[in-house]
Structure 1
Amino acid sequence: MERKYFDCLIQAIDLINDGIHIVDRSGKIVYYNAAAKRLDEIDVDKAIGRHILEVYPSLTFDTSTLIKVLNTGNPIFNIEQNFINYKGDKISTINSTLPIIYNNKIVGAMEVSRNITEVRVLSEKIINLQRELYETNNTSVEKIKKPKAHYTFIDIIGQSKEMLKLKTLGLKAAMSDSPVMVCGNTGTGKELFVQSIHNSSNRKNKPFIAQNCAALPSNLLESILFGSVKGSFTGAENRPGLFELANNGTLFLDEINSMPLELQAKLLRVLQDGRIRRVGSSNTIDVDVRIISAINIDLNEVIESKQLRQDLFYRLNVITLIIPDLSKRKEDISILIDYFIKKYNDKCKKFFNGVSKEVLDIFMDYSWPGNVRELEHAIESAISLYDGDIIREEHLPFQFKNFHPTKNFTLDTNVIQPLNTAVEKVEKEIITSALEQTDYNISKAAKIINVPRQTLQYKIKKLDIPFK
């Protein structure tokens, strides 16, 4: 590679936000980008040529991911590493480390480190705050009596058959201690049901703790759930996990399908034995916790895609509540509109008393990909930004600007046509209308008319529908 291209590559790597280290076969640093300098607060000229453990004295041959890869030749992906830099700051990173191989020999290793220090610090602060709320005070024999969850079944707005049935099932679920899995797309109101089940159960005066399992590395999530003991990793302190804090109460694990598989096995063992072990400890602690979990994908998909272990799935899925999309319970739209108008009138000191007929037609015909949350935000936006007594079409957010309710399609029955001709005519009108409503977004249009994307593309071509 010509020198000028090499220099350009180095300049580009220096712009990357993740820290990048490259070491030679002996473990000496040969490259160290700007992000790594910011992370470790060590000048590049002081790091180059020095052994990795000299620059990071809190690491060892056993804990350094770079040393492990040099010794084994096996790549490591998304492993949490904790260390203390020269200023005494505790640093947490997620490392992916690759061996550098030349002529079938390991000549070095490269590591990309993503800084998650703030994520860990915030998580630990949350745990500490929860501990302050739920642990017994030294001067009091009673635990804090504040409610742990805000919503009850009365807060779930809906009179459709589906929602009334779900409320009944949810109330029955609250009468038992069996695990519950709540399924539904984003914005359908899963946590409302979860909190309502807790608040109707015999655990209602005990802790309710929620933890989202998405976007957290396995090691960090493990210490959050099960706690840690001092010295179990660099900077670790004696700290209870959420299972201990939720003892005798409810632990809500949101997006459980995003939990790393290796941690799912440990969670399964806890559910089977009723005991947890803090990270770094050999002692077990008995816990009595009800688990309610939630997923935002189809039940069948979560197993077929192997996002969730089958044995854990069956352990969690004793009682199932499937929350329908708003598009499948449109009879609830009117009462939801009234509820949200009242809510944001009170909040914004406004005096809206309804929506225009045009807006109601739009709302009844819209597909609501964001579900109830999207409807709430549409009402909130209109009331926050405008004044008046009626929410009109011009008050609606951008996604409704070019939306037009579906036309009612009719055939002239006085004119006899070949059946396939008549069907194609209706198909063409429906597809054209769906494309116009979605600004010619194939995926959204396919969802509106409930056909696969490939089928819609085929019909557009077959029916010679102009596509913008």
Structure 2
Amino acid sequence: MNHVSSKQLEQTIAMLTQVLDTVDIGVHIVNADGETVIYNKKMTEIESMPSNEVLHKNLLDVFLFKEEQTSTLLQALKKGKHSHNIKQQYYNNKGFPITAINDTHPLRNEDGEIVGAFELSKDITRLEKLMKDNLQKPGQTRYTFGQIIGQSEAITQIIHEAERATRTNSSVLLTGETGTGKEIFAQSIHNSSERAGGPFISQNCAALPDNLVEGILFGTKKGAFTGALEHPGLFEQATGGTLLLDEINSLNPALQAKLLRAIQEKTIRRVGDTKDTAVDVRIISTMNEDPFEAVANGRMRKDLFYRLGVVSLYIPPLRDRYGDIPILVEHFLDTFNRRFQMHVEWISADVLELFEQYDWPGNVRELEHVIESAMNIMTSERQMELYHLPMHMRRRLTTQPDSPASLSESNETKETFLHKPLKEHLAEVETYYIKQALTVHNGNVSQAAKALGISRQNLQYRLKKMSTSE
């Protein structure tokens, strides 16, 4: 049997490493203890991590996997399981989401014992984003259901209800706070219905002066009033398609009565005309207040409400779907990275915690504006920090009564505060953030670790240390 010298072995490993760094597929090999021994260049690109942050470290100290699944590498290592073309979604050590298609196999010695495992990965993170971007249809509308961002029960339930509404031509009333995405839902319903090939006309009723609303909606006949021209209204323009009437409750009662007649009779009469014109339009309307309150307070006719709300859908505010914040953040980072030609990878654990505690009065639109604002003052940074955020968000840090910034004033005098050792102060702040993360994520250690930007094992170690010191 030929013996290989250590020098020859080193040369062989060096050559193998060069070969692996040239292939267009990620290669990740771990030893029997789950520690990474080979991590090629393509894998560093897929997982957005330099090799020195992965090599010779345990998988679970570096990556965070969803609770319902475990690492395919660990399954191969512990159970000898072979996996082929498995889609896996997980997070790197900075909390950045990764989606890959993996082939994973155990490695055995001559005696059949498992001594390691290897994984071959294909990156589909960017591919999925491109597919999502290409779902939009050409024409006057941009959005489809596939582009509504979110996986929470609150948003998925309303998506399913809206999808069912595409089967008919019944009127749809969308209610929800400002910034929740009502027009996105309206466009998605149109684009998934049999009217997708027809026009989609959108009009904000609150932006129309009372003396012009009727002419804009129903059209004008030449000579109806001084300067009036023969002009079709929005109903005629939307024939064969969909008419979106935003903030419908802002119309005065007289116009609401004429709108009700047009919907019931499926005809309109231009201002100054004596004949009716048939129209074939599906009406989608929106309101940013409770429709029953609008009816009770006289801002909406009851008969019009029942006519418009054949299908009534309530779009939930962002505070009712906090679980969607990381997904929305990823989407907006990707959007503004492309728009600004930047490379911001993720947000810090502190920023994520603040986002998950904020009540978001402006909803998804406000989150988008906050991300855009922060990226406008960033330069070459790869991670968004608290000091990048707009002033109104940063002020929240000092106004929360139990935040670290206020501990010195609320719990002790300045003199006592200044005489406390730095190490003790840092320990208090660390304890505060860990407890807050666990509270926000209902005691889920994995999710709390992700929010804090540390591994699950790291968090468990800190929790153990906290319990022994109390």
* Letter of the structure 1 residue corresponding to residue 374 of structure 2: A
Deviation at 1:329, TM superposition (A): 0.6
SS at match of 2:195: coil
* Letter of the structure 2 residue corresponding to residue 191 of structure 1: E
Residue from 359, 381, 395 that aligns with 2:351: 359
Percent identity, please.
49
Matched residues in 2 for 1:146 and 1:401: separation?
40
SS at match of 1:205: coil
Residue from 163, 183, 186 that aligns with 1:194: 186
- CA distance 1:362–1:406, change in 2 (3 Å): farther
Residue from 377, 390, 409 that aligns with 2:383: 390
Q: Does 1:282 align with 2:274?
A: yes
* Letter of the structure 2 residue corresponding to residue 393 of structure 1: L
* Letter of the structure 2 residue corresponding to residue 253 of structure 1: L
SS at match of 1:281: coil
Deviation at 1:402, TM superposition (A): 1.5
Matched residues in 2 for 1:381 and 1:351: separation?
15
**Residue aligning to 1:348:** 340
Question: For the Cα contact (< 8 Å) 1:250–1:292, is it kept in 2?
Answer: yes
**Residue aligning to 2:240:** 248
Residue from 272, 291, 312 that aligns with 1:299: 291
Q: Does 1:318 align with 2:318?
A: no
* Letter of the structure 1 residue corresponding to residue 146 of structure 2: I
SS at match of 2:347: coil
Question: For the Cα contact (< 8 Å) 1:183–1:190, is it kept in 2?
Answer: yes
Q: Does 1:336 align with 2:328?
A: yes
* Letter of the structure 2 residue corresponding to residue 398 of structure 1: M
Q: Does 1:206 align with 2:198?
A: yes
Question: For the Cα contact (< 8 Å) 2:291–2:300, is it kept in 1?
Answer: no
**Residue aligning to 2:211:** 219
Residue from 377, 381, 399 that aligns with 2:392: 399
Q: Which has the higher helix share?
A: 2
Q: Cα RMSD over matched residues?
A: 1.6
Matched residues in 2 for 1:261 and 1:212: separation?
17
Q: Does 1:181 align with 2:173?
A: yes
Residue from 162, 166, 170 that aligns with 2:162: 170
**Residue aligning to 1:119:** none
Q: Does 1:149 align with 2:141?
A: yes
Deviation at 1:146, TM superposition (A): 5.2
Deviation at 1:306, TM superposition (A): 1.0
SS at match of 2:213: helix
**1:429-456 CA deviation, whole Å, 9 max, x = no partner?**
xxxxxxxxxxxxxxxxxxxxxxxxxxxx
Deviation at 1:384, TM superposition (A): 1.9
* Letter of the structure 2 residue corresponding to residue 230 of structure 1: K
Deviation at 1:302, TM superposition (A): 1.2
Deviation at 1:305, TM superposition (A): 1.3
* Letter of the structure 2 residue corresponding to residue 396 of structure 1: L
Residue from 263, 266, 272 that aligns with 1:271: 263
TM-score between the two structures when normalised by the length of structure 1 = 0.55
Deviation at 1:354, TM superposition (A): 0.5
Task: List runs of 5+ in structure 2 lacking aligned partners.
Answer: 1-136, 405-470
SS at match of 2:312: strand
Q: What is the correspondence of 1:413-452 to structure 2 with a 5 Å cutoff?
A: none
* Letter of the structure 2 residue corresponding to residue 218 of structure 1: D
SS at match of 1:292: strand
Deviation at 1:406, TM superposition (A): 7.1
* Letter of the structure 2 residue corresponding to residue 395 of structure 1: H
**1:305-329 CA deviation, whole Å, 9 max, x = no partner?**
1111000000001101101110111
Task: List runs of 5+ in structure 1 lacking aligned partners.
Answer: 1-144, 410-468
**1:365-423 CA deviation, whole Å, 9 max, x = no partner?**
001011000100010111122120011000001111221267499xxxxxxxxxxxxxx
* Letter of the structure 1 residue corresponding to residue 347 of structure 2: V
SS at match of 1:403: helix
SS at match of 2:300: coil
SS at match of 1:402: helix
| Deviation larger for 347-356 or 378-387 | 378-387
* Letter of the structure 1 residue corresponding to residue 384 of structure 2: I
Matched residues in 1 for 2:328 and 2:402: separation?
25
Matched residues in 2 for 1:277 and 1:236: separation?
15
* Letter of the structure 2 residue corresponding to residue 190 of structure 1: K
SS at match of 1:342: helix
* Letter of the structure 1 residue corresponding to residue 393 of structure 2: F
